[in-house]
Amino acid sequence: MKELQVNGQRLWQTIMETARFGGTEKGGVCRLTLSDADRQVRDWFVSECEAAGCAVSIDEMGSIFAWRPGKMDKLLPVAIGSHLDTQPSGGKFDGIAGVLSGLEVLRTLNEAGYTTDAPLELIDWTNEEGSRFTPPMLASGVFAGVFERDFAYAVVDRDGKRFVEELERIGYRGQRKCGDYKLGAYFELHIEQGPVLEAENKTIGVVTGMQGQKWYEVTVTGQDAHAGSTPMRLRRDALVACARMVESIQKIALNHAPLAVATVGLVVVRPNSRNVIPGSVFFTVDLRHPDDDVLLQMDRELREKVNAIAKESDVEAKLVNNWNVAAMEFDRECINQVRNAAEALGYRHRDIISGAGHDAVYIARVAPTGMIFIPCEQGISHNELEKTTSEYIAAGANVLLHTVLAYDEARNEARR
């Protein structure tokens, strides 16, 4: 099986084919989780997996599982997965490259008439992005026991729509209990979404772990007032206070350079009228660092700064820390299998820590897990211009294929 290679052209075409579900004028994809576009790509994915001879099931969180029989079906499946939901102005590859490379692996094994010892399971996790329904990695989190199913069901989006109602609306509230069975291993291919691999002219990232993350929601309350007749000294301008907080949040990351990152990505100004002093501002904060102790220090600095600026600006500030995930390392054997596959296939590779969050970070809590990165152009992602090449995708899918085969083989050896 060493010479087995995926069909890179078919894989590339498949990715381009799915980009039409939620495709945008600028060539990106807007496929928010549980939207109509998400339903379309799910329906497409289910039929392609069935055409590839898989038994498809949907769990309570809407995650889709395509099961390919092995020679010994009592063995725990070796899983491949990622996500098909995107950011509002997302690209064609974030998450999608991983799910469709997995489909390509199944198609390649079918054509080769090859059956692994353990069954294989290809998974599309619901709501990895967390853009519409927060927190992110919600379905993989329920699967791993990080979130209760009913907590996830009750999450509402910014229009007040509940997760479970949207799941039912698109017809993907499955019967299968979420997380009631084990995976033998889990591998996820993903674009790096950062500049390192491209800058170092590497084809494969052997992902050793993921950095920690903390998310917050801040509500600043001042007072709506007339833009013309309110003297500056009497104003309680929530937007000016927010702007000073945003600047201080950037400084917190710079204080912990070069690894710390901080982002204010969502700001809602009320009443948002050009001749009214904003009385209320809602904004989000995303802090990340590979060292949890530093992340905790950044948390302390954030709370201090927000409170001090609120006091100086004569406004109230309510800060809620609504999601945390600790920095983590992947399974040693999985990492080694990825590295060996990249080496055996002759791809230039390097170890790398993931700056982005992925479903793999939660699945690693319940199964031996590894990740494979491929470069994306200028490291740009969460952007309609997100780009990679068919060569990189094919290389990543080949590493995925041979990692899965080697892992299956190694476990078989261990049983003899």
Q: How far is the CB of 363 from Mn ion (least distance, A)?
A: 13
Per-residue binding letters, 61-100, with ligand HGY (x by CB under 6 A): ----------------------------------------
Nearest of 274, 268, 279, 282 to residue 236 by alpha carbon? 279
Name the residue nearer to ligand HGY (CB basis): 214 or 235: 214
Binders of ligand HGY among residues 135 to 154 (CB under 6 A) are: 136
Q: Which residue in 22, 28, 91, 95 binds Mn ion (CB under 5 A)?
A: 95
Give me the least distance between CB of 332 and ligand HGY, in Å please.
24
Eight-class DSSP state of 131 = S
The count of chain residues that interact with Mn ion, using the rule CB under 5 A, is 2
358 or 402: whose CB is closer to ligand HGY? 358
**Residue 389 token pair:** 């090449």
Nearest residue (CB) to ligand HGY, 8 versus 135: 135
How many residues make contact with ligand HGY (CB under 6 A)? 6
Largest CA distance in the chain: 84
Please confirm whether the linkage preceding 69 is cis (ω < 30° from 0): no
Compare residues 221 and 383 and give the one whose CB is closer to ligand HGY. Answer: 383
Q: At its nearest, how many Å lie between Mn ion and the CB of residue 263?
A: 13
Q: CA separation (Å) from 373 to 196, 209, 259, 391, 408?
A: 11, 12, 19, 13, 21
CB of 244 to ligand HGY, least distance (A): 25
408 is a contact residue toward Mn ion (CB under 5 A): no
| Nearer CB in complex with ligand HGY: 329/391 | 329
Toward ligand HGY, which CB reaches closer, 212 or 368?
Answer: 212
If the CB atoms of residues 83 and 236 are measured against ligand HGY, the closer one turns out to be: 83
- Closest Cα partner for 298 from 272, 276, 324? 324
Indicate which of Mn ion, ligand HGY, none lies near residue 192 (CB less than 5 to 8 Å, by partner kind): none
Cβ nearer to ligand HGY, comparing 48 with 128: 128
Q: Number of C-alpha atoms within 13 angstroms, CB side, residue 83?
A: 26
Task: Give the residue ranges of DSSP H helices in 200-323.
Answer: 238-255, 292-312
Q: Does 198 bind Mn ion (CB under 5 A)?
A: no
What is the number of H-type helices and E-type strands within the chain? 12, 16
- How far is the C-alpha of 252 from the C-alpha of 380, rounded, in Å? 23
Determine which residue in the list 60, 94, 188, 384 makes contact with Mn ion, applying CB under 5 A. Answer: 94
Instruction: State the Cα–Cα distance between residues 153 and 215, nearest whole angstrom.
Output: 20
Closest to Mn ion by CB, 11 or 240: 11
d(CA 311, CA 324): 27
Tell me the window of 122-130, 198-206, 214-222, 343-351 that interacts with ligand HGY (CB under 6 A).
122-130
**Are the beta carbons of 347 and 127 closer than 8 angstroms?**
no
The 332-371 contact track toward ligand HGY, x by CB under 6 A, reads ------------------------xx--------------
> Does residue 128 touch ligand HGY according to CB under 6 A?
yes
Q: How far is the CB of 298 from ligand HGY (least distance, A)?
A: 16
x/- site string to ligand HGY, residues 292 to 331, per CB under 6 A?
----------------------------------------
Interface residue with ligand HGY among 59, 129, 166, 237 (CB under 6 A) is 129
Element (H, E) at 317: strand 316-325
DSSP secondary structure string, 76-104?
PPEEEEE-----TTB-SSTTHHHHHHHHH
What do you get for the CA distance between the two ends of the chain, in Å?
20
Please give the backbone phi and psi of residue 25, each rounded to the nearest 5 degrees, phi first: -55, -35
In which residue are the tokens 């209990």 written? 177
Distance, in Å, from the CA atom of 336 to the CA atom of 415, rounded to the nearest integer, reads 20
Residue 298 in tokens: 């950044």
Window of 68-76, 90-98, 320-328, 365-373 that interacts with Mn ion by CB under 5 A: 90-98
- DSSP class of residue 59? B
Residues that bind Mn ion (CB under 5 A): 94-95
Residues that bind ligand HGY (CB under 6 A): 128-130, 136, 356-357
